[in-house]
Structure 1
Amino acid sequence: MRANFLMAAALAAALPAGATEVVGYYPGWKHQSYPVSSVDASKLTMALYAFVDLCWDGKHGNADPSVNKVEPCQDARNGALAWRNEAEDGANLRALVALKRQHPQFKVVISVGGWDWSNRFSNVAASAPARANFIASSLQTMRRYGLDGVDLDWEFPGEVGVPCVAGEVCARPEDRQNFITWARELRTAFDAAGKQDGKRYSITIAAGGNASYTGDGVWVKQLAQSLDWINLMAYDYHAPWEKSSNHHAALYDDVTGSVQRYLHAGVAPQQLVLGVPFYGYGWKGCPPGPNGDGLRQPCESGVTDGVNGSNSYSYGMVLQRGDGYRRYRDAAAHAPYMYNAAERVWIAYEDPQSLREKAAYIKQQGLRGAMFWELSVDDERRQMLNTLSEAMRP
């Protein structure tokens, strides 16, 4: 027990006193519309390159046709990293790593999995040979491109987000324990490689904010002992898959509730990085309700004029909403929203003020820093990143 405590303390102390993380996802598939040259590395401590997949039975992808197609792996070993487009991903990674020359605080890490590509995690975590293949593949990739670590974005251990297709296994009751074992093996291997290479290779995860993810908290505390930190996905508490308009990342009580769950589980504050959204969601068919603002009202469905015809809105798209849209602020939740009574459209989003309020909460709780999804959905003036970076300064 004392060895575990000392390990966690050493990991928490890895960040210099007074420094805070500002971690942003870079969506590799958007590289043509949002090239690496658009990234302001001076405002970031880390870019998480999204996403890299896992190979299983020589294939990667997701057999669910609503997600993406299944394709052959570049490296057919079970557990090896698999690329969406190896040439494009490699070029993006080299360009991101090149930014480190002018910005020594900036790190580049590959994020594995994500919502669409979490379907192989359970298989890999349950197999010792596959875990070893993942470790070997990750080290090879980090050394090849000059990367600084790996982020495991498993959504979610024990209950995969995208439903598994018939004939495949995407979740197991023992996923949590297997994840702990995997992280321990990864920590041992990364520490040994770091001694050889004269650097520290980080291990982070993207973790759910709800109680079903943390459970009784015991497994999360054990997992954290092998991690540099946990990127807490403190958003998507409500979204248009629900037929009621509501905040998707309210500081009170959704976000604060998630943070407290991890702290009560025994995770050190310096091992928690709070995730914030740079995007919003829209609902349509929402009546005004008693206050005339459409908040928490039964709606028909999600608005579909967002990013690529979705109900997700970039901050720039929210700013462009004009005639008929009125902005509101929920003082209790510390969350902004927008409503058009004539069109009966309601939009939840994040803005610079709500970011500053979350940054203040991060500092008050002594958390390690902030993470956000994702760089390309900021507006052209980079208001969100500029605000977050400024607010997170010591």
Structure 2
Amino acid sequence: MQANLLLAAALAAALPAGASEVVGYYPGWKHESFPVSKVDAGKLTMALYAFVDLCWDGRHGNSDPSVNDVAPCQAPQNGALAWRNEAEDGANLRALVALKKAHPQFKVVISVGGWNWSNRFSNVAASAPARASFIASSLAAMRRYGLDGIDLDWEYPGEAGVPCAAGEVCARPEDRQNFIALARELRAAFDAAGRQDGRHYSITIAAGGNSNYVGDGAWVKELAQSLDWINIMAYDYHMPWENNTGHHAALFADAKDPATANGFYASRSVERYLGAGVAADKLVLGVPFYGYGWKGCAPGPDGDGQYQPCGGGVTDGINGGNSYGYGQLLKRGAGYKRYWNASARVPYMYNAKEQVWITYEDPASLKEKARYIKQQRLRGAMFWELSADGEHRLLNTLSESLRQ
């Protein structure tokens, strides 16, 4: 009896109740302002280390003028992993992996690509030798740092989010089928290595939530066969460069939103994948730990600035941009009033005097999304990103809500 009680206690400490995934991105370039010591591994099942790049022609990065961060690769083979700063990234990864000693449920994965660094996926996926180089390089990283897997953050197959520089190729009509081939070969190699190493190496992807990404769904269903799960980026449905305000991570449709017909809300994104034949337990719902702001927004008939014309994005957010971490939003002045959209199940702020409107996520909306995840029997939640919630208010809510 005593042995059984001890075993039960050990399992309870190792696994979150309900076994829901709580997956958070750790931005490696922010390690000085948000060191690994601030990561609450007890509330997470996985950290996605962002980002690692791919080498092509001896270089990595993106030569598009809007990014322009090209640098030499550490390993010159086409398809090999390329690090932002190998010494810093390695130190961060070792520190994250060290958290597993006290938190056995916690996994550490490297995320390859991202918005700025997806421009070489098309070349790599189209080349059998480059795919082989990527797989070998990934396995070497797994074993070197004691990692648990790879997250493929290709934004996006067939349609590059950041355009290529003139004369370069970063998207092909064959990208989707090449992605399937890459994932299939990676799965075979990871499974073989896992048998040798006595462990499981996971493969996940960050995937778009709109109809352009999913298409008719057939390719997504085939791709999912090689994946542990799909992290749906169910946010950025509305952005500050739009002329009107809108919720960037609505859970459900709001008939008042002019873009509702486009299906720009989280539950519709999930429906696209379920409709494609992807199992619910292979779907993780992405949520944002940040918000966006618009300026010059008319109050409108309800006096709250919602769905109203504006003069552009507010630029006093993170790194002088339009996005705001949750901690920043809590520090807005007394003139900001919180509102709640009962249809979309999300909050928003409006300052009538300054005419600033903000869309964001808060504990109330995260509880709604956790309830939806459990109702739909999805695998769990993913969020971008840990440093935006420095005091763990959102992480605590998300973790606790999924475990209840």
- Give the structure-2-normalised TM-score: 0.93
Cα distance in 2 for residues equivalent to 1:242 and 1:26: 28
Offset from partner CA, 1:168-214 (integer Å, 9 cap, x none) = 00000000000001100000000000000000000000000000000
Q: Distance in 1 between matches of 2:297 and 2:205?
A: 36
Shift of the alpha carbon at 1:241? 2.0
Q: Residue 279 of structure 1: which of 290, 310, 313 is its match?
A: 290
Gaps of 5+ in 2: 1-14, 254-264
Does the Cα contact within 8 Å between 2:110 and 2:150 map onto a contact in 1?
yes
Q: CA deviation at 1:16?
A: 9.7
Say whether 1:376 aligns with 2:387: yes
Partner secondary structure for residue 329 of structure 2? helix
Partner of 1:222: 222
Question: How far, CA to CA, are the matches of 1:40 and 1:342 in structure 2?
Answer: 38
**Alpha carbons of 1:139 and 1:20: their partners in 2 closer, same or farther (altered >3 Å)?**
same
**Corresponding letter in the other structure for 1:390:** E
Q: Which residue is equivalent to 1:9?
A: none
Alignment partners' CA distance in 2, 1:379 and 1:98: 20
- 2:364 matched to 1:353? yes
- Structure 1 segments, 4+ long, off by >3 Å, are 15-18
Residue identity in the other structure for 1:311:
N
- Once residues 331 and 58 of structure 1 are traced to their aligned partners in structure 2, the CA distance between those partners, rounded to angstroms, is 52
Give per-residue Cα distances to partners, 1:277-331, cap 9 Å, x unaligned: 0000000010001111000111111000001100100001111112211110011
In structure 2, the residue matched to 1:235 is: 235
2:272 corresponds to 1:261: yes
Contact 2:202 2:227 in 1 (8 A): yes
> In the alignment, is residue 303 of structure 1 matched against residue 317 of structure 2?
no
Partner residue in 2 for 1:388 = 398
Q: Distance in 2 between matches of 1:304 and 1:74?
A: 35
Hey, what's the Cα distance between the residues in 1 that align with 2:35 and 2:50?
14
Q: Give 2:212's aligned amino acid.
A: S
Q: Distance in 1 between matches of 2:319 and 2:124?
A: 32
Percent identity over the alignment is 78
Q: TM-score, normalised by structure 1?
A: 0.95
> Which residue matches 1:252?
252
Q: Who is 1:69 aligned against?
A: 69
Residue 67 (structure 1) shift: 1.4
Whether the aligned pair in 1 keeps the contact of 2:191 and 2:200 (CA below 8 Å) is yes
Match of 2:342 among 324, 331, 337: 331
State the alpha-carbon separation in 2 of the partners of residues 284 and 334 from structure 1.
Answer: 23
Deviation at 1:65?
Answer: 2.6
1:167 aligns with 2:167: yes
SS in 2 for 1:112: strand
* AA aligned opposite 1:202: S
Quote the offset at 1:17 in angstroms: 9.3
Letter in 2 for 1:371: M
Secondary structure in 2 aligned to 1:244? Answer: coil
Q: How many residues align?
A: 379
CA-based RMSD of the aligned residues comes to 1.1
| Mapped partners of 1:232, 1:365: distance in 2 | 14
Equivalent of 1:365 in 370, 373, 376: 376
Is it true that 1:98 corresponds to 2:98 in the alignment? Answer: yes
Q: Per-residue displacement from partner, 1:329-372 (whole Å, max 9, x unpaired)?
A: 01111010000111110000000000000000000000000000
CA contact (8 A) 2:17 2:403 kept: no
Contact 2:49 2:108 in 1 (8 A): yes
SS of corresponding position for 1:151? strand
Q: Which residue number corresponds to residue 199 of structure 1?
A: 199
Report the CA distance between 1:379 and its aligned residue.
Answer: 4.1
**In structure 2, how many angstroms separate the alpha carbons of the residues matched to 1:33 and 1:278?**
17
Report the Cα distance in structure 2 between the residues aligned to 1:103 and 1:304, rounded to whole angstroms: 39
- The answer for the alignment partner of 1:270 in structure 2 is 281
Amino acid at match of 1:348: T
Amino acid at match of 2:180: I
CA distance in 2 between counterparts of 1:178 and 1:90 reads 30
Corresponding residue SS for 1:18? helix
* C-alpha displacement of 1:131: 0.2
